[in-house]
Structure 1
Amino acid sequence: MIKGQIHVYTGNGKGKTTAALGLSLRAVCAGKRVYFGQFIKGMEYSELKAANYLPNFEIHQFGRDCFIFNKPTEEDILAAKKGIEILEKVLKDNSYDVVVLDELNVAIYYKLISVEEVINLLRGKADNIEVIITGRYAPQQLIDMADLVTEMKEVKHYYKKGVQARKGIES
């Protein structure tokens, strides 16, 4: 059995979720099973349709709306906690080879869940499962625990020129 590694994709640059989706595509094309759990997100993103096109790919959202411009509500916290409960089972039962915890770092940053809960979750995972954690603001404890950490650094972004999120590119 090959040991599954823990990846963290963080930083202020664009591409963390996109990188996780790319790895997911590669894994599915290699015959692996992927579970993609999205924290914070509850809006309609194009990747939600991926399961219609990719065998062995499952995606679920553990968010309601994008509250980033407001404070998280009790419902936001409950949605994140439910995600952790589901992922506890997913990470133990060996039904998946790759598990993505999309925007988990942001959920920690906004105190929807604690870094201690996440560390316990990761310590309980089956040895062979590859885990990818995305989101800005990765806490140092997760960086220390991870086997691979990539920081996306923004050098230039068209958003600053007023270009809004485009379907199929950013959403």
Structure 2
Amino acid sequence: MEKGYVHVYTGNGKGKTTASLGLSVRAALAGKKVFFGQFVKGMEYSELKIVDYLPNIEIHQFGRDCFIYNDPTEEDILVAKEGLEICKEVLKNGEYDLVVLDEINIALYYKLFSVEEVLEMIKEREHHVEVVLTGRYAPEEIVEIADLVTEMKEVKHYYTTGLMARKGIEF
């Protein structure tokens, strides 16, 4: 790719991570090299097994236990900042064609690092690298610099009936 674009998948509806995983699989099957970094997440999600099937996708988690219903701890912040440093290097070195920053908007919402750091990281990336930022609450500054913004809107969700997350569908 001559020029990499910036995608944002945000909103309160289901499907942001799923869409970025679909794009990652498509890119990998087209011979592209993919780096998938998950912020905030530390659970054993099914997508972590993707490396067993598609060797040109690398996936890393930069989160611990889910703190979404609590305040992040110092350790949560440290893990996120370490992940951000890894992603800065990945974006800058140009080794990957597609870099997904999954749930980075949530990390920003919880102030695990600054919007300015993320904007600078995107600006300093190798020019051919396509980058995807996912998560609810995308800051306006991120939306402004993006080339593509998709907002997932929840219309109806079976969680409201008490259905819990199911392996292979939600995680």
Does the TM-score normalized on the shorter chain lie above 0.5? yes
The one-character-per-residue Cα deviations of 1:126-155 (angstroms, maximum 9, x if unpaired) are 000000000000000000000000000000
> 1:101 aligns to what SS in structure 2?
strand
Determine the C-alpha separation between the residues in 1 that align with 2:144 and 2:27.
25
* Number of the residue aligned with 2:117: 117
Q: How many pairs were matched up?
A: 171
* Number of the residue aligned with 1:32: 32
1:55 positional shift: 2.0
* Number of the residue aligned with 1:127: 127
Root mean square deviation, CA, Å: 0.6
Stretches (4+) displaced over 3 A: none
Determine the C-alpha separation between the residues in 2 that align with 1:138 and 1:13.
13
Map 1:79-90 onto structure 2 (within 5 A). 79-90=79-90
Determine the C-alpha separation between the residues in 2 that align with 1:55 and 1:63.
23
Map 1:20-99 onto structure 2 (within 5 A). 20-99=20-99
Determine the C-alpha separation between the residues in 2 that align with 1:126 and 1:96.
9
* Number of the residue aligned with 1:15: 15
* Number of the residue aligned with 1:148: 148
Instruction: Return the letter of the residue paired with 1:94.
Output: G
Q: What is the TM-score when the length of structure 2 is the normalising length?
A: 0.99
Determine the C-alpha separation between the residues in 2 that align with 1:93 and 1:137.
28
Instruction: Return the letter of the residue paired with 2:51.
Output: A
* Number of the residue aligned with 2:136: 136
Q: What is the TM-score when the length of structure 1 is the normalising length?
A: 0.99
Instruction: Return the letter of the residue paired with 1:42.
Output: G
Unaligned runs of 5+ in 2: none
